[in-house]
Structure 1
Amino acid sequence: MAEKNKNNFLTEKLMPLFNKISSARHMVALRDGMTAAVPMIIIGSIFMIIGQFPIKGYLDFMAQVFGPNWATVVQYVTNASFNIMGLIAVAGISYNLAKSYQGIDPFSAMIVAIAAFILTIPMQIGKDGGLLIPLKQFDSSGLFTALLVGLFVTDLYVWLMHKNLVFKMPETVPPAVSSSFAALFPGAISLFVVWLVRIGVEATPMKSIPNVITFFLQNPMSKVTNTLGGALVIELVICLLWFFGIHGANAISGVVDPILYAALAANASALKAHEAIPNIITKTFFDNFVHIGGCGATLGFVILMAFFAKDKEMKAMGKLSIGPAIFNINEPVIFGVPIVLNYQIVLPFILAPMANVITTYTAMKMGWVAKTIGIYPPWTTPPILSGILSTGHISGGIMQLFNLVMDIVIYYFFFRSMDRTKLKAEQKLEQAKESAK
């Protein structure tokens, strides 16, 4: 009875609560808005690999063929793609948030949010009298500003639109022109509010909105996240949410990803400047070294099922899942075994990725394994290859192989117990069928 009540509490109370949080419009807008920056990061990473490939013979050959400044020219694309992460984020977040409201033109809302984002950036007057915009605020340094502007300014704009504070054009005016002018008053009021906030902040010792956000939000959160304890907490939350059937990484990406992307971008900047790589905990740290086979580090579990299971059902599930798992897609095993709400497998599902966090962090901290260098291989890149690419060193691939073997060991006892239980049930079913004949 107690077990039944426990299950009812999980399915009727906790799961709906977590689903409601992860599907809230603002969480979805954050997730989808940040995802909009991923293609540019991947493109920039490809050109960074070309320009910074860590083999001296290759670098010397390219310099002889294309000249000493070839790497600088190649990385024009890296600079262009990496240095607009904040701009892409504010546009993506605002567009997706506005789209979730009825009767709102998301493009107009996005334009207002971009203008508000630029309005937060402190500018200087050049010698020729022109404005100088510090482009650093357009890259990962401005992600938190972009996040807050994308949410709050868009909500303010939507609220004003719903108050019907719109400039109505005659019916003869084309719809595209009419919708643009409809945003005139809400857009002007939204920018006026941001302008007032900026004027107020400039009267304080902080001097600028980005300084306020960095001091009160970004720096404290970065210091917590870029630690072993912070990484373990993040991974624990991801695994627990997945156990309840909620995409854990997506659910917390709006809060965590800006910090992880900023850390990755800082590593990329250090690499280009030939300085020491500063950060261990980055987006690629989790995607490539912790989530081997997907969240829960389930590639080890899938290998056990595919090659060592005696139960026909588990072996079949393993063979079906191993292809996607190699490319870090593990929905087949999570919902097929299932792992969701399966108390037999929850412990290794949490322990394996947390062990990966500990071993990888320790190895990188001690200098045994190269840190992630700012290159962002697509999350579907298979292990070993992704480890080498993301660190620029073979030690990254060796680290992944070590973690995979460790994951297999962690899953083994629980896998064997599940396999025996299922095999007995299968044998009893076959015996019942034989008896019925």
Structure 2
Amino acid sequence: MNKFIDFMEKHFIPVASKIGAQRHLVAIRDAFMVTMPLMILGALAVMINNLPISGFQNVMNSIFGADKWQAFGGSVWNGTFGILSVLIAFLIAYNLANHYGKDPLATGVVSVAAFFTLGAAQSGMNSTGLFVALIVGIVVAEIFTRLVGNDKLVIKMPDGVPPAVAKAFASLLPAMITISLFGLVAAIFAAFGITDIFASFYAAVQEPFMGLANTYGSALLLAFITPFLWFFGLHGANMIDPFMQTINAPAIEANVNAIAAGDAAPFIVNKPFFDVFVNMGGTGVTIGLIIAVYLVGRKNKPYMVVNNLSAAPGIFNINEPLLFGMPLVLNPIMFIPFILTPMVCVTTAYFATKYGLVPAATVMPPWVTPPVIGGILATKSMAGGILAAVNLVIAVLMYIPFVIMANVQEQKKLDAQ
């Protein structure tokens, strides 16, 4: 085990660290972090509108009129998921420009303008245009920040002109060039008969990508990568978040639309799926470890001290005290359950959803929602809570043997003293 850790630290960790710090991935991750509260709000609004409780629906209809009370949830959706791609186009460009030390606000505004130049108002403002928004944000930031630094493209204003006006004119030509390039792209697509770039891109690229990411194999891989990176001290969740978020919002929206139409939800794997069935207590299903320590690790004083400090945060899926206090990072005893437990939980959750035992996740509860409760909210059913509880029991059982091994090791240390 020590040779394996040494090898990974020498050959794998430097590469993974560079990937985790890659500026474009960081910009995408930070952009989605900003929009996370809006996505949660939009998902909760949809949940309220579609609560599968006939009594609730009847009461609301009798008070406010049939379907009229749902205008609230629809309006909230329009202001959150309905403009998600616009926000992402702005925020990615903003973050990248900030990284380059250029004017982030101007870059973000130009990115939004370029996004609409491609025809976003037609069909690309919501999550359908998410992939195009990612591309636009990155490309605009790379082009505009380079042009805005060119002295030959600066329109110099006479002395006495307010700084804000001078700054705006300094960005005028770079903005015109950047937006014109996207106008040229739109014209080329139109010449080939593609009048809706966003719908065409969604059908050709985004939808197949979401389908690929929806497989059991991809879910298993995601369940493996995050704790594996965390074991070496790298923030696994942050590193794969850009990938998760690109499939998250479109998958949730597609599920909601399918269910509203009376069809089966097409996408099993999305962020709430992982949050409520896999990452209970945090990466590694560590709420199971906390319970296991209380059950069989009370004689292990170092573990109990950390466990007591970690229990309250763990209920809300915060497990940094465990990761660095117990620790789980570079802990050879806990390597196996820390890696395997999420993969087992993904397996039970995936096939329980696939075979109709549990509804697909269509709501994104806040990630700090306690285990079991999150399962109920995400699936709008008690079956989701039961599945989360089953996974919790599995996690406890998987951690118990290794907690016992840690107890034995700790006792040997005490005996040797």
For 1:20, which of 18, 31, 38 is the aligned residue?
18
Displacement of 1:423 in angstroms is: 2.7
For 2:64, which of 53, 63, 66 is the aligned residue?
66
Q: Report the counterpart of residue 300 of structure 1 in structure 2.
A: 288
Q: Report the counterpart of residue 79 of structure 2 in structure 1.
A: 80
The answer as to 2:370 corresponding to 1:394 is no
Q: How far, CA to CA, are the matches of 1:15 and 1:42 in structure 2?
A: 33
Displacement of 1:15 in angstroms is: 1.8
Q: How far, CA to CA, are the matches of 1:296 and 1:157 in structure 2?
A: 42
Is contact 1:306–1:317 with CA below 8 Å preserved after alignment?
Answer: no
Q: Report the counterpart of residue 91 of structure 1 in structure 2.
A: 90
Alignment of 1:35-184 (within 5 A): 35-75=33-73, 76-102=75-101, 104-121=102-119, 133-134=121-122, 136-164=123-151, 165-184=153-172
Q: How far, CA to CA, are the matches of 1:271 and 1:171 in structure 2?
A: 62
The answer as to 2:364 corresponding to 1:366 is no
Q: How far, CA to CA, are the matches of 1:157 and 1:224 in structure 2?
A: 33
Is contact 1:307–1:315 with CA below 8 Å preserved after alignment?
Answer: no
Is contact 2:281–2:315 with CA below 8 Å preserved after alignment?
Answer: yes
The TM-score, its normalising length taken from structure 2, stands at 0.94
The TM-score, its normalising length taken from structure 1, stands at 0.90
Displacement of 1:274 in angstroms is: 4.5
For 2:275, which of 280, 287, 291 is the aligned residue?
287
Displacement of 1:31 in angstroms is: 0.1
Alignment of 1:307-346 (within 5 A): 307-309=295-297, 310-346=299-335
Gaps of 5+ in 1: 123-132, 430-437
Is contact 1:356–1:403 with CA below 8 Å preserved after alignment?
Answer: yes
Displacement of 1:220 in angstroms is: 2.9
Identity %: 37
- Code of the residue aligned with 2:61 in structure 1: it is A
- The alignment of Structure 1 onto Structure 2 pairs a total of residues equal to 414
- Code of the residue aligned with 1:390 in structure 2: it is A
Q: Spell out, residue by residue over 1:228-286, the C-alpha distance to the aligned partner (whole angstroms, 9 max, x if none).
A: 11111122222222122111121122233111221011112234444432221111101
Displacement of 1:12 in angstroms is: 4.0
Is contact 2:353–2:359 with CA below 8 Å preserved after alignment?
Answer: yes
Displacement of 1:208 in angstroms is: 4.5
- Code of the residue aligned with 1:168 in structure 2: it is K
**Alignment RMSD:** 1.9
Displacement of 1:215 in angstroms is: 4.8
Q: Report the counterpart of residue 414 of structure 2 in structure 1.
A: 426
The answer as to 2:216 corresponding to 1:224 is no
